[in-house]
Structure 1
């Protein structure tokens, strides 16, 4: 079986690349998908539908266009990794975690110890909390390895 892992969350560091490289180096049967990580492109996703005078409506249209990808990929994934950075508030990542929880989709949170308190509810629904991308790779290795039957 090849696992599909959705990588959600902050876009200002190379955590995705670290997880992908670590998993590839171990030959794990995992494919990775993500939301659009180009901030400007994500903000402009709804512009094709016409200009808006108020930024609220531009953001509204773009968030709906982006949600087509997000919802589809989360629903198709086997599990998600949700990264919270300390530099910006990632409301979208919190929403993705909530969506995973509502679907019964397992997810791993990835964040520094300094933000445990604000993420207590998000972490409570997670299957694991990791502080480093390498820990996520170790979890993936355990989960996808054939220590048992892979039916």
Structure 2
């Protein structure tokens, strides 16, 4: 039986880059299992207060949500073989940068995915990555090469 690779898809949630990578690997028949954070922005932001109770201050609301989300994120990054980190063009994805740092600290193989305009801003993150892609198609090609040789 072929080894199943675990790939964690971190970062930007406002475009279909995850779906493109998943579809591309499925078209190639690659043995990959994908995990990701909760990509429903509202559900992710409010999970802490929905589960643990309301807060009077936004800081504590965010803190509860971040803690609950970190249980998922940290577990899935620890279990991943490869961590793909997407930085989108519109928003500063501080959580993606944190995920990249966490993955680097764990010695995970990291592939960053971002537009050329962010090369300078992400130079330290890219330096920790083993590859930096500009398009989801390139990520699929990297996975194909890594898995099949």
Aligned to 1:107: 110
Unaligned 5+ segments in structure 1 are none
Counterpart Cα distance in 2 of 1:38 and 1:97: 20
TM-score (norm 2): 0.97
Counterpart Cα distance in 2 of 1:44 and 1:11: 16
Q: For 1:62-101, what aligned pairs fall within 5 Å after superposition?
A: 62-101=65-104
Superposed CA offset, 1:48-97 (max 9, x none): 21111100000000000000000000000101100000100000000000
1:137 matches 2:147: no
**Is the partner of 1:110 in helix, strand or coil?**
strand
Aligned to 1:7: 9
TM-score (norm 1): 0.96
User: Equivalent of 2:46, from 44, 47, 50?
Assistant: 44
Q: RMSD across aligned C-alpha pairs, in angstroms?
A: 0.5
**Is the partner of 2:143 in helix, strand or coil?**
helix
Extract structure 1 runs of 4+ deviating beyond 2 A: none
User: Equivalent of 2:24, from 22, 25, 43?
Assistant: 22
Aligned to 1:118: 121
Counterpart Cα distance in 1 of 2:62 and 2:147: 38
Shift of 1:45: 1.0
Counterpart Cα distance in 2 of 1:13 and 1:86: 10
